Amino acid sequence: MSEKYEKGMLVRRQVLGDAHVDRAEASRVDFDAPFQEMITEGAWGTLWADDTISRRERSMLTLALLAAMGNFDEIPMHIRASRTTGAEPRDVLQAFMHVAIYAGVPKANHAIKLAKQTYAELGVDL
């Protein structure tokens, strides 16, 4: 594997945790291997590995963009990841409040619902 892939896998494990990455890797097949390599190199080895902004800020941006675009399936994973990036629940709420103003209240409302469910599963008091 490339150096960028190796760096991406390290960052991916730091942000998402070994258990998540191990599950994803266990479900990998020849069909989706190129996709997994692309996101590991691009998202994790390039974007998330860059230290221009903090991982906390990346978490907040990622959650806001996911909500704004209606990509709700990824939100619980990134809420869980926020525990390692330093984005507190109050930060996440602020990101979703931006979504409400700039992308729509229904999207923000659904994202907040998912965040509350995920925080409850994690035992986080809000």
Q: What CATH number should be reported for the domain holding residue 90? A: 1.20.1290.10
Tokens for 93? 């709420």
How remote is the C-alpha of 99 from its chain's centroid? 16
Specify whether 76 is located in the same domain as 98: yes
pTM value?
Answer: 0.93
| 107 falls within a domain | yes
Specify whether 30 is located in the same domain as 73: no
Specify whether 69 is located in the same domain as 110: yes
Total residue count of the chain as it appears in this document: 126
The alpha carbon torsion through 20, 35, 40, 9 (nearest 10 deg) reads 50
Specify whether 40 is located in the same domain as 60: no
Would you write out the chain's pLDDT as a tens digit for each of its 126 residues?
Answer: 899 999 999 999 999 999 999 999 999 999 999 999 999 999 999 999 999 999 999 999 999 999 999 999 999 999 999 999 999 999 999 999 999 999 999 999 999 999 999 999 999 999
Q: Can you give the residue range of the structural domain that contains 114?
A: 55-122
| 93 falls within a domain | yes
Q: How many domains does the chain have?
A: 2
| 49 falls within a domain | no
What is the C-alpha to C-alpha distance for residues 102 and 111, in angstroms, rounded to an integer? Answer: 14
| 50 falls within a domain | no
Burial (0-12, 13-18, 19+ Cβ within 10 Å), 82: buried
